[in-house]
Structure 1
């Protein structure tokens, strides 16, 4: 009887793990950036790829943050019409940056170096 319980729990844990690993990621359809002077919406595949990679590879920074106004307000629209809002902070000289998700404004999400560089390069074109 105990063996069946252990096998059942193991099977459930395995199924949960498989679901977490293979569940589809929501598809980004557009990203709108708003600065003090302009608003730009990105819908092309290359730009979406850059934003998608940046969002998916952030590293959570420990502790609470207290920062000034962001470089950009960023609205990410997914295929299921969900809109997620972020504050995007970029330093164009050092090509570094971080995100703060509006729904969790006390946590900073540091952009990986590659993502920061790609974003600053993309945004410098405009």
Structure 2
């Protein structure tokens, strides 16, 4: 009887682990950016990939968050119609970037160097047009 219990618990843990590892990430369908001077919505595959990579690979910064107004307000719309709001901070000179999720404003997320570079390149196109 004890052996069946251990096998059952092991099977449940295995199924949960498989679900967590295999479940798909929610698909982004659009990203809307709002600054003091402009508003733009990205829906093309390459731009969505850049934003998705930036969000997924951002790492939490330790310490308290005390920042000024963001470079952009960012609304990310997922395929299941969920909209997640962020503050996006981008320094176009140093190509550093940070995100703060509105629903968790105590936590700042640092963008990876590659993601910051891709975002500054993408957003620079808008600033020069």
The alpha carbon displacement at 1:64 in A equals 2.6
Normalised TM-score (structure 1): 0.96
SS at match of 2:80: coil
| Partner in structure 2 of residue 101 of structure 1 | 101
The alpha carbon displacement at 1:62 in A equals 2.2
Please list every run of 5 or more consecutive structure 1 residues that lacks an aligned counterpart in the other structure: none
Distance 2:63 2:3 in 1: 44
| Partner in structure 1 of residue 55 of structure 2 | 55
What is the CA RMSD across the aligned residues, in angstroms? 0.9
Please list every run of 5 or more consecutive structure 2 residues that lacks an aligned counterpart in the other structure: none
Does 106-115 or 57-66 show the bigger shift?
57-66
Residues 22-76 of structure 1 show CA distances to partners (whole Å, capped at 9, x for unaligned) of 1111111110000011101001111001001111111112233111100100000
| Structure 1 outlier segments of 4+, above 2 Å | none
SS at match of 2:99: strand
Residues 85-107 of structure 1 show CA distances to partners (whole Å, capped at 9, x for unaligned) of 00000111111111000000000
Give the total of aligned pairs. Answer: 126
